Amino acid sequence: MSIEHAAARLAAAEHRRDLHARFAPVFARIAAESATREAERTLPFDQVEWLRETGFLAVQVPVEFGGLGATTVEFFELLIALAEADSNLPQLLRAHFTTVESWLVREPGERREFWLRQIAGGAMFGNATHERSAAAVGTYQTALSRENGRARLDGTKHYSTGSIYADWILVTATDAETGEQVSVTVAADAVGVDRRDDWDGFGQRLTGSGTTVFTDVTIDPEHIDVAHASTPSHITGFLELVLLASIAGVGRAALRDARDFVASRTRVYSQGVGTSAREDPLVQQVIGQISGLVFAAESAVLAAAAVVGEASDLAQLEAARGTATAPELTPESVRESTRAIRAAETAAVRAQLQVPDLVLRATTALFEVGGASATARERNLDRHWRNARVLSSHNPVIYQARALGDDLLNGDGLLFTWATGEGTPTTTT
């Protein structure tokens, strides 16, 4: 190893330690009342503000634009730690962090710099994509129309995760003039925007994944973009990893609470061989097994994050082609970018095929260490299984397993687009 290489690795390790040290106090503060918030369904508006104040919303943003410049792996390490504190927060920030990632890989220019600096200043994004309409798969009844030089948005969205906490909402719609799918950035407090807290899932109860209604909302033409959802990109893998990091964090929380529960127990079973629960070999075995499951889940997420990070770095280089300091675009670089995108999606899918199962096993094994007392409602330990189960229901594993098998056998199975609707499904690869 060269001196330069060693110095670079030491600097990277120091940056990673600084990031973890910066956010550890706020994560601990968030964790302190997380069980109570979930039990009482108290939405974490304060906790989102704490993250905003500490700069966590801009952790991915390059330092030159006012952010903290975290690498992809550093970012997902922090996301797992946040999910251990409260798994609702990484999921409700999923659209936000994906928006940041999308701007990072856009062509350098005034628009990119504007939004990255807005985010560095604390701006937060939410999501409004899915519909429960009778529209066909992959189409939207939410419409962008124009009249007398004014653009307007009308429609109803469901599962609008994070939008009740956000400053800006990313909305997918159909352009009434062209029939094209568009992505519209809407101010969350604009006239005609109605954000409703009506998410009723049995887990992840605080993500704000409810209904958003847009009625005659005036849209700035600068905030309208053609949607590129069907274009293969590492963003698909990034999106999946945010959910998987949230699930891995649930596993860490389950391990933490299992240890705390056993440490607090003074009563033992007559069949046990220890004078306390913590000294019982069978209880020790369960804690060890949970630890192994959680380690495997976290390791899978971070291994995939490294591959997604490589694709992200290449995408940023590709986006900068043509600028004064960027290298020229070559056929080889195009092939490398395509390879990296496919590798990122493959890694994310492989992680998805393992992480939910590992953590659901861990959150079930948790109840082996305490008998009926572990099920007391006041402990709220069942939230870990419920949260992991709901998180695992996104982009169902059964489809991902088939897609990966198809790709390995036939070379064309990876799924870069997810949509729901009525009629005959169409698959975009």
For residues 70 and 78, is the Cβ–Cβ distance under 8 A?
A: yes
Burial of residue 91 (CB within 10 Å: 0-12, 13-18, 19+) is buried
pLDDT at 429: 36
Task: Summarize pLDDT for 298-307 with one digit per residue, the tens.
Answer: 999 999 999 9
Over 90: is that where the pLDDT of 408 sits?
yes
pLDDT tier at 338, thresholds 50, 70, 90? confident
Nearest of 384, 420, 375 to residue 130 by alpha carbon: 420
Neighbouring-strand partners of residue 153: 144, 217
Task: Summarize pLDDT for 73-85 with one digit per residue, the tens.
Answer: 999 999 999 999 9
Output the 3-class SS for the chain: CCHHHHHHHHHHHHHHHHHHHHHHHHHHHHHHCHHHHHHHCCCCHHHHHHHHHCCHHHCCCCHHHCCCCCCHHHHHHHHHHHHHHCCHHHHHCHHHHHHHHHHHCCCCCHHHHHHHHHHHCCCCEEEECECCCCCECCCCCCEEEEECCEEEEEEEEECCCCHHHCCEEEEEEEECCCCCEEEEEEECCCCCEEECCCCCCCCCCCCCCCCEEEEEEEECHHHEEECCCCCCCCHHHHHHHHHHHHHHHHHHHHHHHHHHHHHHCCCCCCCCCCCCHHHCHHHHHHHHHHHHHHHHHHHHHHHHHHHHHHHHHHHHHHHCCCCCCCCCCCHHHHHHHHHHHHHHHHHHHHHHCCHHHHHHHHHHHHHHHCHHHHHCCCCCCHHHHHHHHHHHCCCCHHHHHHHHHHHHHHCCCCCCCCCCCECCCCCCC
Burial of residue 327 (CB within 10 Å: 0-12, 13-18, 19+) is exposed
322-330 mean pLDDT: 58
Over 90: is that where the pLDDT of 343 sits?
yes
343-350 mean pLDDT: 97
Over 60: is that where the pLDDT of 261 sits?
yes
Q: Token digits for 159?
A: 């599962």
For residues 86 and 44, is the Cβ–Cβ distance under 8 A?
A: yes
pLDDT at 333: 63
Over 50: is that where the pLDDT of 149 sits?
yes
pLDDT tier at 356, thresholds 50, 70, 90? very high
Task: Summarize pLDDT for 9-62 with one digit per residue, the tens.
Answer: 777 888 899 999 999 999 999 999 999 999 999 999 999 999 999 999 999 999
pLDDT tier at 428, thresholds 50, 70, 90? very low
pLDDT tier at 186, thresholds 50, 70, 90? very high
291-298 mean pLDDT: 98
pLDDT at 8: 72
pLDDT at 126: 97
pLDDT at 323: 62
78-107 mean pLDDT: 97
Q: What does the angle CA 317 – CA 57 – CA 228 come to, to the nearest 5 degrees? A: 45
Computed over every residue of the chain, the mean pLDDT equals: 90
pLDDT tier at 427, thresholds 50, 70, 90? very low
Over 90: is that where the pLDDT of 293 sits?
yes
Over 80: is that where the pLDDT of 332 sits?
no
* pTM exceeding 0.85: yes
pLDDT tier at 413, thresholds 50, 70, 90? confident
pLDDT tier at 337, thresholds 50, 70, 90? confident
Q: Token digits for 311?
A: 């694709």
258-280 mean pLDDT: 75
Over 70: is that where the pLDDT of 329 sits?
no
181-208 mean pLDDT: 96
